[in-house]
Amino acid sequence: MARRERPVFIETEYHGPAAMEELAGWHPSRLVVGLTGCPNGTTRDCLERLAQAEKYGARLSGFSRESFACEDPVLMLTAMRRVIREGLGSFEAVKAYHADLRQAGLSPNRALQDDVELTSPLLRAHAAEAA
């Protein structure tokens, strides 16, 4: 590919459906939108954010140990794949993630009843739309 034909990759925070759709739709063949990590919030916040961003046009996700402190990165990737590839809702994906942690003998950072909460008002406002 010639340099001028290569797509441009950007990472951004999630600012809601309208902003993500506008950015992702600007020039889909030239601009690939990615989602930055999720440094604050619950596991449900992280997975819901991922689901909403993907639904509205994001195609990449840049999560590192610094941008989301999870108990096990491989199990978290499994949870993310359940949301993106299998269409599992964020609530169910958190429950499955906690079951995976138990099976692996790992203690979760939060109790399940706390980890399934959506703490972000933006995510709560659009959660039903992304399902």
Is 127 part of any domain? Answer: no
Say how many domains are in the chain.
1
Q: What CA–CA distances, in Å, run from 55 to 31, 58, 76, 130?
A: 16, 7, 19, 7
Quote the tokens at residue 90. Answer: 């964020």
Quote the tokens at residue 121. Answer: 């008002």
Give 90-128 pLDDT, tens digit per residue.
999 999 999 999 999 999 999 999 999 999 999 999 887
Give 38-86 pLDDT, tens digit per residue.
878 899 999 999 999 999 999 988 876 666 778 998 999 999 999 999 9
Q: DSSP character for 33?
A: E
- Kindly give, in sequence order, each residue whose CB lies less than 8 Å from that of residue 84, ignoring residues fewer than 6 positions away: 50, 51, 54
**Which amino acid, 67?**
S
pLDDT value at position 95?
Answer: 98
Domain holding 93, by residue range, is 8-121
pLDDT value at position 6?
Answer: 74
Q: What is the CATH number of the domain that holds 61?
A: 3.20.20.70
Is 3 part of any domain? Answer: no
The more confident residue out of 4 and 33 is 33
Q: Count of CB atoms within 10 A of residue 11's CB?
A: 14
Which pTM does this prediction carry? Answer: 0.88
